[in-house]
Structure 1
Amino acid sequence: MTRNSLVLLAAVGSLALLLGALAFQHLGGLAPCKMCIWQRWPHGAAVVFGALVLLVPLGVGAVRLLLGAGLLAALTTAAIGFYHTGVERGWWEGPSSCSSGSTAGMSTDELMEQIMSAPLVRCNEVAWQMLGLSMASWNMLASLLLAVFWLMALRRAA
């Protein structure tokens, strides 16, 4: 495969994951949590990096920089997906701003405050899954595959 075909696969892959997430949200009525939104930003960046490599005439150094940035974007969203998966599975606590915490030892007023300030969609609850994996887990796996495409493209640019 050529460098450009690998970049196209990686960028279109990120675009497909973004469009899929938006379809689940707007067509399927599945509201995203805060960490779901975090996972979208690196995909958007990867699409931009891929478009720049493919559509703008650039020097070798700039192309390598953009390919490295695409690789970093894919690894970043994979890392967020891994962290989110861990929060969903109870391996560790997520951000207090989007996860339900313990109510042990809370007064009635503190409990009411927690309830009133809780987000509508919690990061530690799996809203959708397939084959035992949540959307965050699938995003992590797909993003790792996209990272391989970015890395292969970067090696071809060397």
Structure 2
Amino acid sequence: MAECDALIEWAQTSQEPHRPVGEAAFGKHLEYLAALPSKNIDEDLGRKSATVYYALLKDYPAEAIAHMVRRACETLDWFPTPRQCLELVATYRAPTTEQEQALLICREFAEEQFAQWLENVRNGQPIGDVPARWMRIAVERGLMRVLADGRFVSRALYHGPVRPVSAVVRVDLAA
């Protein structure tokens, strides 16, 4: 668990900040969309339209904008509307970073450890040194109780390990 905690700290402190697309890069991406037919508009209206597109899409990374342009060229017959651009850019999924992979590995490890610990408590094993939230969850699930002095104890110590429910016996009341 200590290694997992260190890995989580590394992942949270070393994540690269979100880098939105710059105006120049956005303009280059829009040039590719010019391959799609569009309404005939004058230069002034074209600049205004480009400003609207940039205002809506400027917070996305360049990779997402490139994805949007590619999808527009693949799927649309005409230059996309701003709404179509937003729909296309929403389909972009960034590749998983090393930090995200580390966090996923740690979460899976912690879930496995927690499940094993719950099973141990259910069977009357010692509680051990675990996070307080694990003990609260075990209390909520009925596997542990809190004594008057604040200590946690396994219910299995009082009632024995949890055993499977025996077969249900049907009683014929009509007989």
Smaller-chain TM-score range? under 0.3
The structure where helix makes up a greater share of residues is 1
User: Radius of gyration: which is bigger?
Assistant: 2
